[in-house]
Amino acid sequence: MMSETTSAVRQRLRPKLGTWVSIRCVAPDQAMAADAVEAAFAVFDRVDLHLHPMRSGSDLDAIRTRSGPVEVDGWTYTLLRAAQQLHGLSEGLFDPCVSGEIGDIRFRAPPQVEIVRPVSIDLGGIAKGFAVDRAIDAIRERGCSAGLVNAGGDLRVFGADDFTAWVRTPDAQWPVPLRDAACAVSCTHSGQQPSEHRGFYRRDSARDDDDRALRWAAVVAPSALWADALATYAMVCRTAAERLRFGVVLAHFGARALDAPAESQKNARRVRPG
């Protein structure tokens, strides 16, 4: 649990990015705690403004409808770079493009990108984790000693104490201790995805009833961005070679996949790196 002796604690819950977002922080006084919570929620508004896949005026709408140089928000630029990085590391398996190719987005001096051909891109499997990280940054910058941001299955904590997170999947639920770390869970038919989110990323097989597909994936990582992205990536691994590669990429980011304890696991299909 978070240290709260002689400190002010503030926790709020609001709907953001198509899910419920819970923010909790520990600060020297109530005014600082309240300011930190509001700054953290503002992060989600900024992400929604620029990274909605279809809304007119968003950065992703511009990338979907235009060619040539496009100036985007600095966070959009960072997230697009991260998506391209994971696309490469996964040997193309993590593919957030609905149409077009992620390589058609070229990076110029920040925050400008060059669109070779219009690209329809959905960053729903990575953007929420990014927003959680930026919200944690906002809390830290305002002098808080500990904090938690939980956005519908993407959670990150910081502070001197361990925090017990409950991982919930269709097959099991169990506690996972976290300290200065993030955890993300991806599930088919989770009911937590925004209506415009197209699902998991695999062009050659988008069927949820593929018996090689995972029902869920859970990842712990140093950041929520990579916990979210890697849990999404795990969901599209089918073959032994793909799962082996997934294990290599996990190690690259200092992350680990979680298995449900045997006593609580029913019929989970989980990726086992290596």
Instruction: Provide the pLDDT for residue 27.
Output: 97
pLDDT score of 198 more than 60: no
pLDDT in tens, 98-109: 889 999 999 999
pTM over 0.85: yes
Instruction: Provide the pLDDT for residue 255.
Output: 98
Assign 110 to helix, strand or coil. coil
Strand partners, 57: none
pLDDT score of 78 more than 90: yes
Estimate to the nearest angstrom the gap between the alpha carbon of 192 and the chain centroid.
13
pLDDT in tens, 149-197: 999 889 999 999 889 999 988 878 899 999 999 999 988 755 454 444 4
Instruction: Provide the pLDDT for residue 272.
Output: 44
Is residue 57 within 8 Å of 149, Cβ to Cβ? no
Q: How confident is the model at residue 207 (pLDDT cuts 50, 70, 90)?
A: very low
**Higher pLDDT pick, 262 / 130:** 130
Domain residue extents for the chain? 8-42+128-257, 54-121
pLDDT in tens, 2-14: 445 558 999 999 9
- Percent of the chain exceeding pLDDT 70 equals 84
pLDDT score of 267 more than 80: no
Instruction: Provide the pLDDT for residue 201.
Output: 55
Tokens 């929420």 sit on residue? 128
pLDDT in tens, 17-39: 989 999 999 999 999 999 999 99
Spatial neighbors of 90 by CB under 8 A, at least 6 apart, are 233, 245, 246, 249
Spatial neighbors of 211 by CB under 8 A, at least 6 apart, are none
**Interval 52-59 mean pLDDT:** 90
- Please state, as a whole number, how many other Cβ atoms lie within 10 Å of the Cβ of residue 125: 27
Give the span between the Cα atoms of 31 and 1, in whole angstroms: 22
pLDDT in tens, 98-147: 889 999 999 999 999 999 999 999 998 899 999 999 999 999 999 999 99
Count Cβ atoms within 10 A of the Cβ of residue 75 and give its class: 0-12 exposed, 13-18 middle, 19 or more buried.
buried
**8-42+128-257 maps to which CATH number?**
3.10.520.10
Q: What is the mean pLDDT of the chain?
A: 87
Instruction: Provide the pLDDT for residue 86.
Output: 96
User: Beta strands of the chain (E only): which ranges?
Assistant: 8-16, 19-27, 68-71, 97-99, 105-107, 112-115, 120-121, 146-151, 154-158, 163-168, 173-178, 181-187, 216-221, 256-257
